[in-house]
Chains A and B, each alone.
Chain A
Amino acid sequence: MVDAEDQVIVGLEVHCQLDTQSKLFCGCSTDYRSDGANTHVCPICLGLPGAMPALNRKAIQYAMRVAKALNCEVLEESEFSRKNYFYPDLDKAYQITQYDKPLAEGGYLEIESDEGGEKRVRITRVHVEEDPGRLVHMGNSERGKYSLVDYNRAGIPLIEIVSEPDMRSPKEARKFLNKLRATLEYLSVFDSEKEGSLRVDANISIKGNERVEVKNITSYKGVEKALTFEVTRQKNLIRRGQRIERETRHFLEARGVTQSARSKEQEHDYRYFPEPDLRPLRVKSWVEDIVLPELPDARRERFMAEYGCSLNHARTLTGELRLANFFEQVVASDRIGLSPLASTWIADTLIGELNYRDMSLDAVDVAGFTGLIAILKAGTITDKSGVEVLRVMLDQRHKGEAIETAAGIVKRLNLAKTAGDDGVITAAIAEAISENPKALEDYKNGKAGALNFLVGQVMKKTRGKADPGELNRLLTEALASREA
């Protein structure tokens, strides 16, 4: 593909917290989110005078899994370096990271391109580093009276994954990020649901112009938003004949805009040098022992082959570990029977309902949802009622109310399809016809729309319980008898 004149070029630097039990250089627990400030700290992660780092082997093993899954080459010898800068959240005034000898280099990740096919985004490097602490500003960060520092996060292991500038749109960047997230989750090294577990810096340029670094992106959606904003901003500048400055900008998530960082912040000289308290890492031989689990691409292919999922459904379902696992749990009892309905209902309906409520899939009860799919398969409720049942189930979870089974909800709300002979549909048809003489007239005159209109009226009266096929049959019969 030849790049167009105004081609967008995007490269990402992704920082993810590795989901280890303890921190990168000490034994403190990483499970700090529900606890008070500065409760998961020790002399090491507080950077107290005299404390020394001792490397967490597990973190390196996790990072190597990632390196292998991203097809990277693990270096014969890598080393940790100090990145020196002053900031109140950085207790040692340097971050232990990797600089010129990272853990691994030169891999790739396949994503769905904007043109629809698969494309490879090259991975420049993968390295391990420690998270700094966290500042809590009292009021505005510029004008607030003071800031508090919480070192619970200090020393959490991070993996930094740097891509080549191989993405061609904000959407591709989002896809890369989603694929990366899925891959890390499949490897059991990352939990995307933990707040603040992901941070992204993006480099973006319009072909032939200077590139801009956008820092401080902390969500998956944020990446696409920030980059879309930048594309517009940069293209507007070019259109007006202005030059794009090479600079660092911050993404302000709440406002959805990027803002130039103060020039002072760009003049950092980090004075990197090898961390003298850690020995060089020689772990290349560990690579052979790593057995990778099934990764998203393989699982997508399997979902298509084994469950007959469509490409789109398979892609959606395997795009998140939780979703894929959920799907397989739902259909476990009856693979052949439940798969078609389950894939549609999860990929098309459930995700939307969850997003609407800002709920996590973790809140959905597998048994409850499976019950709903089984009822839908038995055909005793309509799709419309199915959606209603699902909403009730999710709302009950969301609000922490007592949980009902799908069958219970169907019964309580009297959602079972109305059979033709119980009179409800017949009565509703009779009502609908007598209330809409014009429609009857139109029908008699052969207007096709009239029948559909009447179907809608009857559906309204039966609150969607009428089986569409059955309703059609009864309505046609009723109309025929009127004609006679």
Chain B
Amino acid sequence: MAGQITFEPDDRYNAFLTTCRHATHGTGKLAGVAVAVKDNISTTGIETTCASKILKGYIPPYDAHVVGLLKASGAAVVGKTNMDEFGMGTTTENSAFGPTLNPCDTGRVPGGSSGGSAAAVAAGMVRMALGTDTGGSIRCPAAFCGIVGLKPTYGRVSRFGLIAYANSLEQIGPMGKTVTDVSDLMGVIAGYDRHDSTSRDKPYSHSPSAEIRGLRIGIPQEYFGAGVDAGVAGAVKAAIGKLEELGAVTVPCSIPSMEYALAAYYVTCTCEASSNLARFDGVRYGPAADTKKSWHDAYQEVRRDGFGAEVRRRIMLGTFALSSGYYGKYYAKAQVARENVRADFSRIFADVDVIAGPTMPTIAFRLKEKSDPLSMYLADILTVPANLAGIPAISVPCGRSEGMPVGLQIMGRPNEDERVIDVAFAYEQAVN
């Protein structure tokens, strides 16, 4: 039955930037289910800011493809969730509208950049939420907040309406308390969209299966090397042990290209971002410069005042890397490194069905703990390979370390999102 739900959450964590008190819903698979949407996904009539001052007041005149699908499934879009500005961050502290707190420990960050979505699910304000993952932005907050989050295969979910940060890397994906919720939401949002030329005709209609006997799991040594907390590594190894108990076979492997993965990732995403974010000039939407100056001076003013420090840093890095004479040194090289990452995965997947390891090298940071950008970038090392290769990857809670949730990451072959869902489901069923 179509209808309306009242949504008045006790948002102690600053998970939402916008809430819709009265949200309508239709009929269908998700009839009446409250779904939160990350604030970089366009929603008709609902302010969409990417947690940036530069988009304050922007109300999209159109729905992102996935939002249209959500509505068609009967779900109620109840609000827009907080995030690192334009998705640039690993903590949700880079929001122009204040950080989101981790519901498991309000002294800690929820992870990012989809921290608002993760916190909203973890705190039980919504059953499921949409996030986006450019270099780990779904999986990191899922791991830090103790929920499930899937970064689908690149192209399985349309990006039309997702306010681009790094087009070639990012995907919209489902987040939920359980693997089943994530699978159900994936079933709604996946599929071809003619408005997204990079989308694939691979709809998802799968019910998770816990049967993993005989499954071959690759365990890359790099995922348990220096920089990975012992507590986290221990929890993940125990989880992998559980999968072995369920009949899976583990195989040690190596991803040597990971040495260059972070560099390739940051060059690619900053280059694309410098171009994507150039349109925010105050001419068509967002706050305009109140100035009598010439247009280029007005642009400078709008962009200087409208973007946060991390966004300005990445725009400048990307602008520099694409400059005449540097393209070959940075962007082109990054694409070569990316090819190497793909090749490594492809070699490993010839022998194993999935790859498992920790989602994040640590538990959730304390608020303001990561003050220098470089140490924050390093935290993405285990999640960016899946984005560089475009493969599916899921984070599922696997115990705790220092009382905080730890995420088990399962990566799969391109278009085998179903299989990573199954492995996560098998683990979830076994421990609950």
Contacts and interface: CB of A to CB of B under 8 A. Distances in A.
Interface in B18-67: 40-42, 48, 50, 55, 58, 60-62, 64
A46 interface: yes
A86 B296 contact: yes
Contact of A279 (B64, B198, B327): B198
A281 to B, nearest CB: 11
Given A269-B324, A273-B271, A276-B168, A47 B279 contact: yes
A48 to B, nearest CB: 7
A372 to B, nearest CB: 53
A149 B283 contact: yes
A51 B160 CA distance: 6
A57 to B, nearest CB: 11
Interface string A378-397: 00000000000000000000
A94 B299 CA distance: 15
B42 A50 contact: yes
Interface in A54-80: 54-55
Nearest to A47: B279
A55 B198 CA distance: 11
B84 interface: no
B345 to A, nearest CB: 20
Contacts, number: 103
A129 to B, nearest CB: 16
Contacts of B283: 88, 91, 149
Given A54-B197, A273-B322, A276-B168, A49 B61 contact: no
B62 A48 contact: yes
B245 to A, nearest CB: 42
Interface size for chain B: under 10, 10 to 19, 20 to 34, or 35 or more residues?
35 or more
A84 interface: yes
B197 A48 contact: no
Interface centre among A54, A55, A278 (most CB of B within 10 A): A54
A72 B197 CA distance: 27
Contacts of B331: 273
Nearest to A145: B292
Interface string B258-277: 00000000000001101100
B323 A52 contact: no
A288 B237 CA distance: 58
A49 B323 contact: no
A86 B275 contact: no
A371 interface: no
B162 A50 contact: yes
Contacts of A91: 279, 283-284
Nearest to B272: A276
Contacts of B167: 276-277
A84 B195 CA distance: 23
B281 interface: yes
Interface of chain B, main secondary structure: loop
A271 interface: yes
Interface in B93-125: none
Contact of A50 (B160, B197, B275, B280): B160
B194 interface: yes
B284 A55 contact: no
A88 B294 CA distance: 11
Contacts of B163: 49-50
A47 to B, nearest CB: 5
Interface of chain A, main secondary structure: loop
A179 to B, nearest CB: 35
B139 to A, nearest CB: 21
A93 interface: yes
A277 B198 contact: yes
A242 to B, nearest CB: 30
Contact of B281 (A51, A93, A94): A93
Contacts of A51: 62, 160-161
Interface in B276-324: 278-281, 283-285, 295-296, 299, 319, 322-324
A408 interface: no
Contacts of B8: none
Interface in A82-134: 82, 84, 86, 88, 91-94
Contacts of A165: none
Contacts of A88: 281, 283, 295
B126 to A, nearest CB: 22
A454 B291 CA distance: 79
A53 B55 CA distance: 21
A43 interface: yes
B156 interface: no
B60 A49 contact: yes
B339 interface: no
Contact of B275 (A53, A54, A269, A273): A273
Contact of B299 (A48, A86, A271, A276): A86
Interface in B58-84: 58, 60-62, 64
Nearest to B303: A86
A272 B322 CA distance: 7
B159 A52 contact: yes
Given A93-B281, A149-B283, A52 B271 contact: no
B164 interface: yes
A271 B279 contact: no
A43 B62 contact: yes
Contacts of A271: 274-275, 319, 322-324, 327
Nearest to B86: A49
B196 interface: yes
A462 B427 CA distance: 109
Nearest to B41: A50
Contacts of A94: 275, 278
B197 A278 contact: yes
B195 A54 contact: yes
Contacts of A93: 275, 278-279, 281
Contacts of B319: 271
Interface in A28-60: 43, 46-55
Contact of B194 (A46, A54, A278): A54
Nearest to B55: A49
A157 to B, nearest CB: 16
Contact of B195 (A52, A149, A272, A273): A52
Contacts of B281: 86, 88, 93
A86 B281 CA distance: 9
A283 to B, nearest CB: 14
B299 A55 contact: no
Contact of B61 (A43, A92, A273, A276): A43
30 contacts: A43-B60, A43-B62, A48-B42, A49-B48, A49-B163, A49-B279, A49-B280, A49-B285, A50-B40, A50-B60, A50-B64, A50-B163, A51-B160, A53-B197, A54-B195, A84-B275, A91-B283, A91-B284, A92-B278, A92-B279, A149-B283, A271-B319, A271-B322, A271-B323, A273-B272, A273-B327, A276-B168, A277-B164, A277-B198, A278-B198
Interface of A: 43, 46-55, 82, 84, 86, 88, 91-94, 149, 269, 271-273, 276-279
Given A86-B299, A271-B327, 12 more contacts: A48-B60, A49-B60, A49-B280, A50-B40, A50-B41, A52-B159, A54-B197, A86-B296, A94-B278, A273-B327, A276-B198, A279-B197
